[in-house]
Structure formats: structure tokens, C-alpha cells
Amino acid sequence: MSWITNFLTSSIGRKLIMSLTGLFLIQFLLIHLIGNLQLLVDDGGEKFNLYAQFMTTNPVIKAASILLYAGILLHIIQGLLIWKQNSGSRNTRYAVSKNPNVDFSSKNMAWLGTIIMVFLILHLWQFWFKMKFGTVPPIDYNEGTGPVKDLYTLVAAAFKNPLYVIAYVIGMIVIALHLKHGFQSSFQTLGLNHKKYTPFIKGLGLIYSILVPLGFAIIPIYFYFFR
């Protein structure tokens, strides 16, 4: 085996992949949120639909999105591999297991990740798949872009269904928990633990893991109650 495969299959190498893909997905979430917040603009969806059109057609964004898909897949596959390996590291479980000092999310990253994966499938099937491969009725804003797909109406319709709203809110809570551990953990894996800076990173991570999912969760709630 070459040194690089050696590294990638080492415990620290695997974790490094988790950390780097995790950080990549963390920054994606923020960008995704900024875009999605346009749904809250009261213009009948014009801004959002134009943005969606841009995101699906711009070649640079398209290239970046391939990176994103790869990142998600890598994060999932590597996560599952680590999960499998970790669950094999103990033959008999403890009869009594009490970890009074341990954070819920830290212990349950794999489960939280799995729920997020299920949520992601739902989310992609519902919007991304339809946008890419399905038939979304076009709308023309005469902005020189020609007719664009009316994703806004699709979203608005979906979030009139209370089940979807609940699913999305739960999904966001789970993401918040996943982020709560993941954000600071990715820095630890990179070796960035410092008496002076780590408290700051942890604080930032906590704020991030509350604000970003909250921002996402507001959207379905807003549509359900106020549109």
C-alpha cells in the first residue's frame, strides 16, 4: 500500500475526511440558507426563482455542485465505514452505561447522520429531483432570462402540507444537533485545539448550529402559517 492509501485508511485519515467534508458541507449550508431566505421576500417568488435558475444553469455553480455531491457521498460513505468499524470495537455491551459528562449529540452522531440522510433523500426527491428531471411549470419575469422554472410555487405548495412542515422542522433539529458536535469536532480532528481559541470555536459552533437550522426551519413554518 502506498503512503497515501495508508493514510486514508488510518483512523486519523478517515476522520480527516469526515472533518474536511463536514466543514465543506457546513459552509454549503450557510450559502444554501442565504439563497433560500429569498423565499421569504414578498414578491411572488420572482427573486427566488431567478436565483434557482442561476444556480441550476451557471457552469461554475454546476461544477461546484458536483463537488458538493461528492462531498455528501464521501461524508456518508466514510461515516458508515467508521460506524461499522466502531460498532465492532466492543463485543459485549455494558449492562449499565452512564456517561454523565457526555453531550447527547457527540454520542449519537451516526444516528443523527442517518436521520439526516433520510431527510436529505426526501428533500432531494421533493425539490432537486423535480427541478432537474421532473416537470416544473415555467414562469417568465421578462428579465431577459426567458421563462424559468417556478420552484417557488412548488415549495409553497409543499409547505401547505403539515406533514412536510413537521418533517422539515424535525430535520432541522436533527441537523442542529449534528452540527453542534460536528462543527467543533472537525476542528479537533484537524488538530486545531488551543487553550485560547478553542472556546471561541466552540461558541461560534454553537451559535452556528442554532442559527442556520433555525433559519431553514422558519421557511416551512412561514409558508404554512402566513402564506
Binding site for another protein (CB under 8 A): 1, 3, 6-7, 10-16, 82, 85-86, 88-103, 106-107, 109, 181, 184-185, 188-193, 195
Round to whole Å and give the CA distance between 49 and 149: 7
Whole-number Å distance between alpha carbons of 51 and 124:
18
User: Whole-angstrom Cα distance, residue 11 to residue 59?
Assistant: 36
How many residues does the structure list for the chain? Answer: 227
CB of 92 to another protein, least distance (A): 5
Beta strands (DSSP E) in the chain are 138-139, 148-149
Closest CB to another protein among residues 19, 49: 19
Smallest distance, Å, CB 199 to another protein? Answer: 12
Burial class (CB in 10 A: 0-12, 13-18, 19+), 179: buried
C-beta of 12 vs 61, nearer to another protein: 12
**Shortest separation between residue 67's beta carbon and another protein, angstroms:** 21
The residues with which 149 forms a beta bridge, in sequence order, are 138
Comparing CB distances to another protein, the nearer of 62 and 107 is: 107
Contact (CB, 8 A) for 49 and 148:
yes
Q: In angstroms, give the least distance from the CB of 7 to another protein.
A: 5
Cα 162–chain centre separation: 22
Shorter beta-carbon distance to another protein: residue 27 or 97: 97
CB 213 to another protein: min, Å = 20
Give the residue with the Cβ less far from another protein, 42 or 195: 195
